[in-house]
Amino acid sequence: MRIVEDKDYWEVISKSSNIIVQLSADWCGPCRLLTPVLSSVAADNGIDAIKVNIDNNPRIVEKYKVRSIPRILFVKDGLVEEELVGNQNRAKLEAVCKEVYER
């Protein structure tokens, strides 16, 4: 999973029609558990995935009004279509991917 900073975020989002964004922090245990699962789900479904460290990217935190992590944004054609907060299991992540990206 690629790590993206404020300066590159909007360009990355605009260049990918389907992308999953994980908003997290290095100190967050649930975030560390979620990363490999989310990365695998994205790869299995042919979806790009990026990770944003909330401690280093205040503009993104402000834009999405992040209050809890991990937070997962399912972005299609530049728009957030769905989001989840907290650690999620593989089945839930796959279900949301199908719902968002197969419409």
Dist CA 55 CA 69 (whole Å)? 11
Report H helices in 16-74.
29-44, 58-64
Q: To the nearest 10°, the Cα dihedral for 59, 90, 19, 45?
A: 170
Q: Is 31 a known active-site residue?
A: yes
User: Which is the catalytic residue, given 31, 42, 47, 97?
Assistant: 31
Residue type, 30: P
Residue of 28, 34, 75, 93 with catalytic role: 28
* 97 among known catalytic residues: no
Distance CA 13, CA 75 (A): 8
Mind telling me the catalytic residues? 28, 31
